Structure formats: C-alpha cells, structure tokens
Amino acid sequence: MINFKLKCLNKQFVFQIGQKRKTIVLRNRIQGFTFIEMIFALLITIVILTSLPLTIKLVSHYKALANENSSIEFEFFHRDLIRDINQNNLKLFVKNNHTFILRNNESGVEYTFKNNKVYKQINGKGNVTLLNQVIVEKIIKSNDNIIKIILKVGNPNYKQIKTLYL
C-alpha cells in the first residue's frame, strides 16, 4: 500500500515538477553565446595571448635604443667636424693615433681622444666634449690624404662601430 501511494504521488508531482521547469525555463530567456561566437572569442583571446610576449620583447628592445643617445651624439660630432672643415677652409693633419688637427693660417682646432671622450679644443683654449662613452678611437691616414676615423661608441650593453672618411 505504501508502494502504491508513492507511485501515485510520483506520477502526480513529477509531472507537475516537469511542467514547472519548462515554464520557468521558457519564461526566463537568458541570452547565451552560440558555438560560433565562442570559437571567435577563443580565437581573439589566443591571438592576443600569443602576440603579448613578442610585443613585450620588441618594446624592451626599442626602449633600450631610445635610451641610448650615442648615435645622436655621433651625428652632432660628425656635423661639427664637417662644418669646421668646410666653413673655415681648414686643412687636416694627423698628430697621432688619437689626435688630429684642423689648421689654417689664423686658427687651429684640435680633436683629441682621451678618458673615453672626444674633446674639441679651439686655438689651444678650452675643451668642448663632443662624444661620450667612446670605447676605441683610431685615426688612420692613407697615402692619398684620406683620413679614416674609426670610433666604437656606446656602453657595455650596446655598442656601435662608426667610421668617418675625411
């Protein structure tokens, strides 16, 4: 008899529970993602996550280049040297491996490498620092009066080798 009562209750209330679930589910329409939208969101996430390490590496590389101003200093040094040669009609003489002189009848400009810097001295008075962090400087004079200046500029992490022909 107990079994019969359970079966009657089961038939009556299980059907009502099923009906209530259907009405609740149909009444509450919650928007969900479709499968294609989920795949598209996953694709975007994967692209962003795979490009993130490369972006960080590139940014750190360009940050080091932006903080390194030795190339700008070199361009200013090169500009000053060419301007001195062209404007004042100075002739170039090599004094030793680390010094060269631009001279005419009235004035002389001496460029010297010492203490990891390149100095400019006008008429033997004062020093103007043109280049900092110069590791190596060599001045080589060839047979046909072409002077080659080799500069290794930079810090221990970032070095550049520059060559000037005068």
Residue 160 included in any domain: yes
What is the total count of domains within the chain?
A: 2
pLDDT-derived band at 49, boundaries 50, 70, 90: very high
Residue 19 included in any domain: no
- 126 backbone φψ class: left, alpha, beta (φ>0; ψ -120 to 50): left
**Tokens representing 138?**
């060599």
Q: Is pLDDT at 135 greater than 70 in this prediction?
A: yes
Q: What is the pTM of this model?
A: 0.56
Of 67, 87, 111, the position where a domain reaches its end is: 67
pLDDT of residue 66: 74
Domain coverage including residue 77: 70-165
Strand partners for 46: none
* Contact criterion met (CB below 8 Å) for 70 and 154: yes
Q: Is pLDDT at 1 greater than 70 in this prediction?
A: no
What ranges in the chain are assigned the alpha helix state H? 2-27, 35-67, 70-87
pLDDT in tens, 104-132: 777 788 888 888 888 888 887 878 888 88
Residue 166 is given by DSSP the state -
* Contact criterion met (CB below 8 Å) for 61 and 53: no
Residue 115 included in any domain: yes
**Tokens representing 70?**
């030795």
pLDDT-derived band at 40, boundaries 50, 70, 90: very high
